[in-house]
Amino acid sequence: MVDVALIQQCADPGLKPAIVEKFIAKAGSPDPLAVTVRSGNRVVLVPRPSTPDEAMALVQQHVGKAVVRVGITQYPAGLGVGDVSELKPDLVDACANIRMGTKLFAKVYRIVTKWYGNAVDEAFDDALDAWKTGNFEGKAVFSEPDPGDVKLAVPASADADRNEAATPEPVGPARPEPVDPNKAGIRIDLSGIGGSRPKSD
């Protein structure tokens, strides 16, 4: 879990803290040095970096050859970079990563919300999918123009999601079994179905 004070200090002011918290919980990583490398639909296993320099070396090694996501927000490392030398160590700085990631996610969320026409809860889930894939409705969402001022829906908190998931849905009307066998419903013995027939001589 990312520190709330860090979120309030570093996150894009266009996003409410509840949105940022849910975004990081669903699409991010608690580790500021986290590097995720994907090639097509496959995840490339890379050693976990223990220093910012190791993390940057991993990023530089894979940018341009695969999709590389970095840091707390899993920011797309190669975005807007023409050459590996242009990569900045801000990618693995917790505050800078939150600032860049939430700014870009805010744009993605606005694009998706505008597509829906108004602020709906489904827009957040679709914005998360667009963040993870880089595409929305067949377009490269990161390079799309920002639609500007769009009212965003604040998703329910993670605690509310957990409480909702923990409450079992009623399956149907529960019918207690009658105690008196004379009042029981009709029962049929199905144990003979599919069994072998006795051989006749």
Which residues pair with residue 186 across a beta bridge? none
Distance CA 110, CA 131 (A): 12
Confidence of residue 56 (pLDDT cuts 50, 70, 90): very high
Predicted pLDDT of residue 90? 86
Its pTM stands at 0.72
Find the farthest-apart pair of alpha carbons in the chain and give their distance in angstroms, rounded: 90
Predicted pLDDT of residue 174? 54
Predicted pLDDT of residue 104? 92
pLDDT > 70: what percent of the chain? 83
The SS3 assignment for 135 reads strand
Which among 147, 137, 1, 177 is positioned nearest to 72, based on CA atoms? 1
Q: What is the CA radius of gyration of the chain?
A: 26
Tokens of 112: 């998706």
Confidence of residue 145 (pLDDT cuts 50, 70, 90): confident
Distance CA 60, CA 85 (A): 8
pLDDT > 90: what percent of the chain? 33
Predicted pLDDT of residue 48? 93
Domain ranges of the chain: 4-164
pLDDT tens-digit readout, 12-37: 988 898 999 999 999 899 899 999 99
Which among 19, 147, 148, 10 is positioned nearest to 90, based on CA atoms? 10
Distance CA 187, CA 82 (A): 74
Residues belonging to the chain: 201
pLDDT tens-digit readout, 152-184: 877 766 555 555 555 555 554 555 555 676 776
Least confident of 102-111, 145-154, 192-201: 192-201
Mean confidence (pLDDT) of the chain: 82
Element (H, E) at 68: strand 67-70
